[in-house]
Amino acid sequence: MRKLRNLAICMGLTTSLSINAVVNAETVELDLDIDKITVSGLSSGGYMANQFHIAYSDWVKGAAIIAAGPYYCAQGSITTALSECVNKQSAEFSLDVLTNQLSQYAEQGLIAPLSHLQDSKVWLLHGKLDAKISPPVANALYQQYQGLVKDENLTYIKDKPFAHHFPTLATGSSCDTSESPFLGNCNYDAAGELLNFLYPDLTAPSAASSGQIKQIDQHELGGDPAESMAEKGFVYVPKSCAQGEECQVHVNFHGCNQNAQTIGQDYIKNNGLNRWADNNQLIILYPQTTTSMMLPMNPQGCWDWWGYTDKNYATAQGKQLQAVKNIVKSLAVQSKSKG
């Protein structure tokens, strides 16, 4: 079975394909259009969404990023990550080194040609009360995308009184508080705002989600590059997708201390993405990190945006980037989880 999956990935089966994915010991028929996908993420997941977008911009048509900084901000160093890319950066942020690295990676073929980014859609959000990511860091991400994306395809929301979290209509902690599970009760539908920007003409959601959250085997579907990730990940499958309608894929990356190992399915169930997915033929993939006190050290369950897996972490050769790409493509072939 694994050989069949790997063969299909190598053959580039990225268009609309019918699959049988066995999840939670239950067979689900899916017909997925993965010719183009979109991504989103919060905090370390925002950095990861940005890396995924940049590395595979010939495949990823849009990205939504909450509370994160520019591509390659950490420059392969946890020291740089903590001193320049979180909340200690108070001066204006220079993008020169990062811009040069982007160009070098593109010239070396380690990321997709930067020209693919021009027509991408990019939605950015940074809360005014965010004490984890400083304004200069968030602004630098916007400035970086300004040089890569057409003006009409880029939006930056920075005037909302949000702390460091994923803002929701009615779930989570107080909007001015950043605490587990890092959902903010802000009377603001960040899920709907970002999806409506990435996908035009969406149908309004129902009051509550009606699909199902399925468990998948990330190590099986992601292959060897998934070694630093959790064994199990999750995918939200709307009823229409389970019943055979063609559906697209949106990948959402959680933040630090927000993986299922730490908070269960609170983030997956309550961020608001699933209810929008139901009426719009979208499956939502929720890949998962693992919290580890062993090498590679990852005590807070963050995505690799500073190089704890290897020096290629931000490129198309990055292990976690490859793993998530493999998982998406594996959803378009016959595969089996151990759930």
The catalytic site residues sit at: 43, 130, 164
**Distance, CA of 33 to CA of 232 (rounded, Å):** 23
**SS3 (DSSP) at 250:** strand
Q: Order the strands of the 183-185 sheet from edge to edge.
A: 166-168, 183-185, 173-174
Residue 12: exposed, middle, or buried by beta-carbon count in 10 A (0-12, 13-18, 19+)? exposed
**Distance, CA of 60 to CA of 38 (rounded, Å):** 5
**Distance, CA of 148 to CA of 323 (rounded, Å):** 26
Q: What length is written for the chain?
A: 339
Backbone angles phi, psi at 29, to 5 degrees: -85, 125
Which amino acid appears at position 66 of this protein?
A: I
**Distance, CA of 135 to CA of 272 (rounded, Å):** 25
**Parallel, antiparallel, or unpaired for β 60-66 and 121-125?**
parallel
**Distance, CA of 260 to CA of 131 (rounded, Å):** 24
Which amino acid appears at position 78 of this protein?
A: I
What does the radius of gyration of the chain's CA atoms come to, in whole angstroms?
18
**Distance, CA of 62 to CA of 178 (rounded, Å):** 27
**Distance, CA of 40 to CA of 48 (rounded, Å):** 9
Place of tokens 């040609």: 113
